Structure 1
Amino acid sequence: MFRTALRTVLAHKARLLMTVLAVMLGVAFVSGTLVFTNTLSDAFQKSSAKGFDQVDVAVTASVPQDEGNRINKTPDLTPALLDKSAKVPGAASAVGVVSGFTAIADKDGKLIGGGFQSQGGNYWGAEDTRYPLVDGHAPRGTGEVLIDSETARRAGYKVGDTVRISVDGPVLTPEITGIFTTDDGNVAAGGSLALFDTASAQKLFGKPGTYDEIDVKAKAGTSQAALKAGLDQALPRGLTETTTGEQLAADQAEAISSQMSGLKQGLLVFAGIALFVGTFIIANTFTMLVAQRTKELALLRAVGASRRQVTRSVLVEAFVVGAVAAVAGLVAGIGIGAGLRALMGSLGATVPDGPLVISPGTVGSTLAVGVLITMLAAWLPGRRAAKIPPVAAMSSVHARATTKSLVLRNTLGALFSATGVAVVLAATSMDGSDGQAPMGLGAVLLIIGVFILTPLLSRPLIAAAAPVLRVFGVSGKLARQNSVRNPRRTAATASALMIGLTLITGMTVMAGSLQKSIDKMAASAIRADYVVSMANGNELSPDVEKKLKAVDGVTATSPLRNAPARIDGSTESLTGVNGRAIGELTDLKVDDGSFKVSGSQVVVDGDTAKYRGWKAGSDFTVYYEDGKKQRMSVAGVYEGNDMLSGILLDSTVLTPHQTDPADMRVMVKTADGATDAVKDRLEKALGSNPAVKVQDKKDVSNEIAQMFTLMLNMVYGLLAMAVIVAVLGVINTLAMSVFERSQEIGMLRAIGLDRKGTKRMVRLESLVISLFGGVLGIGLGVFFGWAAGELLGTKMATYELVLPWARLSLFLLLAATVGVLAALWPARRAARLNMLTAIKSE
């Protein structure tokens, strides 16, 4: 039986080619994902480990616990602690580190790198081995700076150039006195690093005479653990914490691995979708192969082969096909992983140098996935063939499904579908994250149910296309009949396309609805023309509002000044605003009381009010960060959103209790509204600072929606793989169908159907099957998009469903295009069949 199975595989190489391609594509996606993410993770981990080569033990300030209603400040690391660390037995040297956000502008004045990766620090001079100089000399004073070699290369800077820099404050224009190399992970990820002398860094980062961290280097022969123990004894307990360089590197590696796991899981989801779609094609292919070999298998049964042996022979075929496809997929996946890494570089994302990582786990899991998926898909057709009695198989009386099997299938499909719809509908009424898991379960059940019901659904839906097909005469009529002749095969083919379009449509509906809701939120919640903030999300200096207020044409400004406080024994965030102007700058819906911010009167968002049990007229005591307390009264409860929420009070009340007042945002209203000229005046008033963003409502809305847009584009790209697999499925089905109907096609040609009519028949059959899958996919996608939106609407008051009719039409056109392209080869093959040879075939 084993030899028979191998001969069968070799005898039907052309028939199995599409199956091999389907498995190979899915496996390539899996292996490519694993190779790509493992390579990135390994490169970043090794790079970060190098960054800690000069640190044996790091000393940081302990984060104090709040006591009662008082908020304690983090202690400073003083020069005295630095000296004490350097004198600990086993310590060779100690370096005080100061760091903070530092924006570097390119020669066009634009921010280099992502805002969160733009960092600055201090340079100790020739003994600072962390940052080897490749050109120039150490900086002296705030008028001189060092920049990393990658930033210099990307921006075209060299020693002697003047650069625009912002360090959480006014724009500086220091001279570049040197360029250094670094293994810093932020720089490797595409960010930038600027270094000042220590005194200048302390002044610029608001740490005069103090440090953020003390890095201690051990003497030869002293272990990191021994040095850590000595530092723990010498330094004040409760004020400092010590961590070995090995632990820092391990923590960094774990953080990188965690970040990569999110990317890996996301990519593997789409790889799973491609494999899931491929499973239908594999099952379809083996079902048709087994059906074509029914008499052959029956003869084997007649000469003594058992049912188990027949099933095993089919599984051996599947194993061989799966193994070949998995090996090819692994090789292709390695190429995909290398290509993705190169693509990141071409898009401007800097990836540390390192080898391509092909782990044994990647090889093993990839091969296992390919083989197991193929064998799993082939098991049912093999089992079904083995159960056919030899005499019945030779007489072909087994061909039709029994009424009992159809009733069982349709009943099972109806139960799955009904349960899935019920669970999804129930999830829409749940609160936010609580409904995510039930909705995912309901979606899976519904998709399975629709797949089971697809043979039943195919007849009425395809029959609906009959009036259109009649236009094509005999070819159209034959195409419709061929489409419903084998509902199970049609269903399996259409389902592959259905799943891909379900996901694409659902994501498109959600993204369009979210964009509309965010636009509505920005337009309804904010009356201000502009919102000013830092590029990295850090706080703005209070001087920013003062400068904006002085700009010609500005009629109102208000800061959003955050500060921690204690209320009823727990920490709460307060937001200071301009009480007189906030009503002019915002348009927040008030559910209870009035929107009045003045003196001891505050307004609170609905979620906070519900959590605290407050309503209009409620009183509470707030303890500020300086320990002083004040009695407050809730004037009103408003509907919060992603842009504005929490407890709003007058900034003149809050600011006296803050040591270092700073604003998260500043809202600005102008007499001329939002225009390019006004925006240009505001940016110039802030010194054309690369670290500061001046955004109108549309900019704010686009920034919030950017993540969803990026995700949607990724989905389109990744699901293209599933669509390609679906195309292969349609080609495979049509090719096998043409093979099965060779005698029939020969008879049609003999009685007058010309080659053109034969081609048209096969193409229309493909078009009908593809559109059937497209209609199901788009319908399910719209339903899931609506349901997910209802769940999201519990957290976003402005959410409303938006159906992107233009894109939905485009998706239907895509399904039709898939059908037309997939039919090219099978139609040509059908038209070129020799009539006499085809009529004599069995």
Structure 2
Amino acid sequence: MFRTALRNVLAHKARLLMTVLAVMLGVAFVSGTLVFTNTISDAYQNSSAKGFEGVDVAVQARYQDSKGDQVGKVPDLTQAVLDKAAKVPGAASATGVVSGFTAIADKDGKLIGGGWQSEGGNYWGTKDARYPLVSGHAPSGRNEVLIDSRTAERAGYQVGDTVRISVDGPVLEPTIAGIFTTDDGNVTAGGSLALFDTATAQQLFGKKGAYDEIDVTAKAGTGQAALKSQLDAALPKKLVETTTGQKLADDQAEQISSSMSGLRQGLLVFAGIALFVGTFIIANTFTMLVAQRTKELALLRAVGASRRQVTRSVLIEAFVVGAVAGVTGLVAGIGIGAGLRSLLGSLGATVPDGPLVITPGTVAAALAVGVVITMLAAWLPGRRAARIPPVAAMSALHSAPTTRSLVLRNTIGALFSAAGATVIVAATTMSGSDGQAPMGLGAVLLIIGVFVLTPLLSRPLIAAAAPLLRGFGVAGKLARQNSVRNPRRTAATASALMIGLTLITGMTVMAGSLQKSIDRMASAAIRADYVVSMANGNALSPDVAKKVAATDGVTASSPLSNSPSRIDGKTEFLTGVNGSAIGKLTDLTVDSGTFRVAGSDVVVDDDTAKSHGWKAGSAFTVHYEDGKAQRLTVAAVYEGNQLIRGIMLDSAALTPHQSDPADMQVMVKTADGASSATKDRLEKALGSNPAIKVQDKQDLSNSIAQAFTLILNMVYGLLAMAVIVAVLGVINTLAMSVFERSQEIGMLRAIGLDRKAVKRMVRLESLVISLFGGVLGIGLGVFFGWAAGQLVGAKMPTYELVLPWARMAVFLLLAGTVGVLAALWPARRAAKLNVLAAIKSE
């Protein structure tokens, strides 16, 4: 039986190749994902470990928790703390570290790095082992700076060049005193690093003689744990906390691994979809192979082979196919992993250097996936073949599925579909994250139910295409009949396309609806023509608001600054605004009261008001971050949204209580409205600062929706793999159909149907099956998009369902194209059948 199984594997080379290819694509996706994420994660972890090589113990300020009405804060690490750390017996040296956002512009004035990856810090001199100098000398004063070698190479800078740098708003133009190398993870990932002398860094980053961290190096013979104990004894525990360099490296490595797990899981989901779709193809292929050998298997049964042996022989074939596909898929996956890494580099998202990582787990996963998926898909056809009585199989009289089995299948499918739809509809009435798990469960149940019901749905939906097929004459009529001849096989093939198009359509509906709602929100809530903010999302310097207000053509402006406070024992963030101008810059819906921000009058969003039980006219006591209290009155309650929410009060009342006033953004209204000339004028007034963004409403909307667009593009790219696998499925189904109808095709040729008509018949059959899957996928995708939108839209008053008719038409056209392309080989094969040989075939 083993030798027979091996011979059968090689007896149908074309089918074998398609099956191996279907499994290989899925395995390649899985192994490529694991290789890519393991490689990136390992590179970052090695880079972070190198970054902590010179740190035995790090001393950091301990956050002071909120107590009573006092707002929590982080104390300064002063020079006195640094001196104490340096005098500990086991300390060889202690270095005070100052850091903050520092944007470096290239020679065209554009920001280098990814905004949040643009960092600055202090340089301790030529003995600073953290940053070895490649060329030049240590910086001195505000007019000199060091930049990292990668940034210098990307921008073409050399020692002695003048560079534009922005630190919290003001633009500096220092001279590059030197260039250094670093293993800092942000730099190796495409960011930038600028270093000033310590006094200048403290001044620029607002530390005023203090440090963000103190790095202590141990003397020879002193371990990190021993040094940590000495520091704990010498330094005030209530103000500082100490961490060993090894612990910092381990924590960062774990953080990197955790952040990479999200990407890994997302990619593996799509790999699973490709494998799920591939399972249908494998099952179809083995059904075809078993059908071709029905008499052979019956003869084996007649000469003494048991049912178990027949099933086992089919599973042996599946094992061989799965093993071959697993090995080839692993090799292809390694290439995919390397290609994805190179692709990141070509897109400018560079990653730390490091080798390609192929773990034993990746190899095991690839082989296991290939073998297990193939054997599971082949088990049912093998079991079905073993149950056919030998005499019935040898006389080709084995019966079609019984009415009872079809009724049972349709009943199960209806129950699953009804349960899934009910759970999804119920989930839409829940709030936020509470409805996510039920909706996911409902989606799985509904997809399973529709898949089980697909044979039943195929007849009426394909029958709807009959009027169009009549225009193709006899070939069209035969194509319609052939497509419903074996509903189960047609359903399995259509389901492959259905699943892919369901996901694509659902994501497209969601993205389009969210984009529309964000556009409406921006236009409805904001009257300002522009919003000014930092590229990395950090706070702006107060000077920015002053420069904006003094710019020609600006009729109204308001900075928005955030400050923590304590209200009724809870921490709440206050938003300071220009009370006289905020009404001209926003267009918020007022639920109650009069929109007025002045003195002790404030306006509050509806969620915050509800949580405290406030209404228009309510009074409450606020404790500012400096501990002082004031009685405020709610002048109005407004409808908050993702752009504007919280407690707004006049900056004149808030700023005196802030230790370090800074604005998150500045809203601007101009006389001429939004235009390229006005935008240029604002940017020039701010010194053409590379770190500052000047955005109009559309820019603001696009930046918020950018994440959705990125995810959608990733979905389109990743699901292309599932579409390729689906094409193989259609080819297999048509090849099976041609094989089963060899005698029928021969008879049609004998009575006058020419080769062109035969090709047309097969192509139309493929087109009908593909469009059937496309219609089901688009329909389910719209339903899922609506349901997910209802869940998200509960917190977005401007949410509106948008059906992307043009894109859905493209998706349907894509399904039809898949059908036409998949039919090329089977149609050619059917047309080339020998008439006499086909008539004599059984």
- Could you say which TM-score interval applies, normalised by the shorter chain? over 0.9
Aligned partner of 1:566 in structure 2 is: 566
CA distance in 1: counterparts of 2:614 and 2:311, whole angstroms? 69
Aligned partner of 2:119 in structure 1 is: 119
Aligned partner of 2:293 in structure 1 is: 293
What per-residue deviation string (whole Å, max 9, x for no partner) do you get for residues 4-39 of structure 1? 211111112222221111100000000000000000
Q: Please give the secondary structure, in 2, of the residue aligned with 1:318.
A: helix
Task: Quote the offset at 1:594 in angstroms.
Answer: 2.4
Task: Quote the offset at 1:95 in angstroms.
Answer: 0.7
What per-residue deviation string (whole Å, max 9, x for no partner) do you get for residues 356-412 of structure 1? 100000110111111111111111111222222222222333241100000000001
Aligned partner of 1:237 in structure 2 is: 237
Aligned partner of 2:676 in structure 1 is: 676
Aligned partner of 2:735 in structure 1 is: 735
Aligned partner of 1:368 in structure 2 is: 368
What per-residue deviation string (whole Å, max 9, x for no partner) do you get for residues 548-599 of structure 1? 1111111111111110000111111011111111111001111222222222
Task: Quote the offset at 1:119 in angstroms.
Answer: 0.1
Letter in 2 for 1:96: G
Q: Please give the secondary structure, in 1, of the residue aligned with 2:472.
A: helix
Task: Quote the offset at 1:840 in angstroms.
Answer: 2.0
Q: Please give the secondary structure, in 2, of the residue aligned with 1:119.
A: strand
Aligned partner of 1:177 in structure 2 is: 177
What per-residue deviation string (whole Å, max 9, x for no partner) do you get for residues 89-110 of structure 1? 1111111110000000111111
Aligned partner of 1:714 in structure 2 is: 714
Asked if the contact 1:15/1:736 (under 8 Å) is kept, the reply is no
1:99-248 superposed matches below 5 A? 99-248=99-248
What per-residue deviation string (whole Å, max 9, x for no partner) do you get for residues 437-463 of structure 1? 111111111111111011111111111
CA distance in 2: counterparts of 1:72 and 1:450, whole angstroms? 55
Asked if the contact 1:484/1:490 (under 8 Å) is kept, the reply is yes
Matched, 1:309 2:309: yes
CA distance in 2: counterparts of 1:339 and 1:38, whole angstroms? 14
Task: Quote the offset at 1:170 in angstroms.
Answer: 1.0
Q: Please give the secondary structure, in 2, of the residue aligned with 1:724.
A: helix
CA distance in 2: counterparts of 1:253 and 1:237, whole angstroms? 26
Query: Which stretches in structure 1 are left out of the alignment for 5+ residues?
Result: none
CA distance in 2: counterparts of 1:77 and 1:404, whole angstroms? 79
Task: Quote the offset at 1:72 in angstroms.
Answer: 4.0
Aligned partner of 2:543 in structure 1 is: 543
Matched, 1:474 2:466: no
Matched, 1:700 2:700: yes
Letter in 2 for 1:86: A
CA distance in 1: counterparts of 2:486 and 2:73, whole angstroms? 75
Matched, 1:667 2:675: no
CA distance in 2: counterparts of 1:554 and 1:430, whole angstroms? 45
Q: Please give the secondary structure, in 2, of the residue aligned with 1:321.
A: helix
Aligned partner of 2:823 in structure 1 is: 823
Moved more, 750-759 or 604-613: 604-613
CA distance in 2: counterparts of 1:404 and 1:772, whole angstroms? 25
CA distance in 2: counterparts of 1:464 and 1:73, whole angstroms? 69
Aligned partner of 2:775 in structure 1 is: 775
Letter in 2 for 1:204: L
Matched, 1:443 2:443: yes
Letter in 2 for 1:434: D
Matched, 1:89 2:98: no
Matched, 1:36 2:3: no
Q: Please give the secondary structure, in 2, of the residue aligned with 1:400.
A: coil
1:376-775 superposed matches below 5 A? 376-775=376-775
CA distance in 2: counterparts of 1:399 and 1:373, whole angstroms? 29
Aligned partner of 1:25 in structure 2 is: 25
Aligned partner of 2:356 in structure 1 is: 356
CA distance in 1: counterparts of 2:766 and 2:121, whole angstroms? 64
Q: Please give the secondary structure, in 1, of the residue aligned with 2:116.
A: helix
CA distance in 2: counterparts of 1:584 and 1:506, whole angstroms? 39
Letter in 1 for 2:185: G
CA distance in 2: counterparts of 1:346 and 1:638, whole angstroms? 47
CA distance in 2: counterparts of 1:289 and 1:615, whole angstroms? 74
Letter in 2 for 1:450: V
Asked if the contact 2:10/2:16 (under 8 Å) is kept, the reply is no
Q: Please give the secondary structure, in 2, of the residue aligned with 1:378.
A: helix
What per-residue deviation string (whole Å, max 9, x for no partner) do you get for residues 414-450 of structure 1? 1111111111111111101111111111111111111
Q: Please give the secondary structure, in 1, of the residue aligned with 2:53.
A: coil
Q: Please give the secondary structure, in 2, of the residue aligned with 1:679.
A: helix
Moved more, 802-811 or 597-606: 597-606
Asked if the contact 1:88/1:231 (under 8 Å) is kept, the reply is yes
Q: Please give the secondary structure, in 2, of the residue aligned with 1:115.
A: coil
Task: Quote the offset at 1:292 in angstroms.
Answer: 2.3
Moved more, 99-108 or 625-634: 625-634
CA distance in 2: counterparts of 1:616 and 1:393, whole angstroms? 83
CA distance in 1: counterparts of 2:564 and 2:307, whole angstroms? 74
Letter in 1 for 2:352: P
Moved more, 354-363 or 380-389: 380-389
Asked if the contact 1:147/1:178 (under 8 Å) is kept, the reply is yes
Letter in 2 for 1:521: M
CA distance in 1: counterparts of 2:601 and 2:187, whole angstroms? 47
Q: TM-score, normalised by structure 1?
A: 0.99
Task: Quote the offset at 1:180 in angstroms.
Answer: 0.6
Q: Please give the secondary structure, in 2, of the residue aligned with 1:220.
A: coil
Letter in 1 for 2:374: T
1:275-354 superposed matches below 5 A? 275-354=275-354
Task: Quote the offset at 1:315 in angstroms.
Answer: 1.2
Letter in 1 for 2:45: Q
CA distance in 1: counterparts of 2:771 and 2:607, whole angstroms? 46
Letter in 2 for 1:569: G
Letter in 1 for 2:5: A
CA distance in 2: counterparts of 1:179 and 1:399, whole angstroms? 81
Aligned partner of 2:250 in structure 1 is: 250
CA distance in 2: counterparts of 1:25 and 1:199, whole angstroms? 58
CA distance in 1: counterparts of 2:225 and 2:699, whole angstroms? 51
Task: Quote the offset at 1:767 in angstroms.
Answer: 0.5
Q: TM-score, normalised by structure 2?
A: 0.99
Q: Please give the secondary structure, in 2, of the residue aligned with 1:44.
A: helix
CA distance in 2: counterparts of 1:97 and 1:814, whole angstroms? 57
What per-residue deviation string (whole Å, max 9, x for no partner) do you get for residues 78-135 of structure 1? 1222121111111111111100000001111111111100000001111101101111
Query: Which stretches in structure 2 are left out of the alignment for 5+ residues?
Result: none
CA distance in 1: counterparts of 2:91 and 2:537, whole angstroms? 38
1:43-82 superposed matches below 5 A? 43-82=43-82
Q: Please give the secondary structure, in 2, of the residue aligned with 1:485.
A: coil
Q: Aligned residues: percent identity? A: 83
Task: Quote the offset at 1:249 in angstroms.
Answer: 0.4
Q: Please give the secondary structure, in 2, of the residue aligned with 1:644.
A: coil
Asked if the contact 1:767/1:820 (under 8 Å) is kept, the reply is yes
Asked if the contact 2:540/2:664 (under 8 Å) is kept, the reply is yes
Q: Please give the secondary structure, in 2, of the residue aligned with 1:313.
A: helix
Aligned partner of 1:9 in structure 2 is: 9
CA distance in 2: counterparts of 1:383 and 1:72, whole angstroms? 68
Q: Please give the secondary structure, in 1, of the residue aligned with 2:484.
A: helix
CA distance in 2: counterparts of 1:352 and 1:807, whole angstroms? 38
CA distance in 2: counterparts of 1:89 and 1:190, whole angstroms? 40
Letter in 1 for 2:465: A
Aligned partner of 2:98 in structure 1 is: 98
Task: Quote the offset at 1:742 in angstroms.
Answer: 1.5
CA distance in 2: counterparts of 1:700 and 1:89, whole angstroms? 55
Task: Quote the offset at 1:736 in angstroms.
Answer: 1.9
Letter in 2 for 1:268: L
Letter in 2 for 1:793: G
Letter in 2 for 1:536: N
Moved more, 745-754 or 99-108: 745-754
Q: Please give the secondary structure, in 2, of the residue aligned with 1:116.
A: coil
Task: Quote the offset at 1:317 in angstroms.
Answer: 1.1
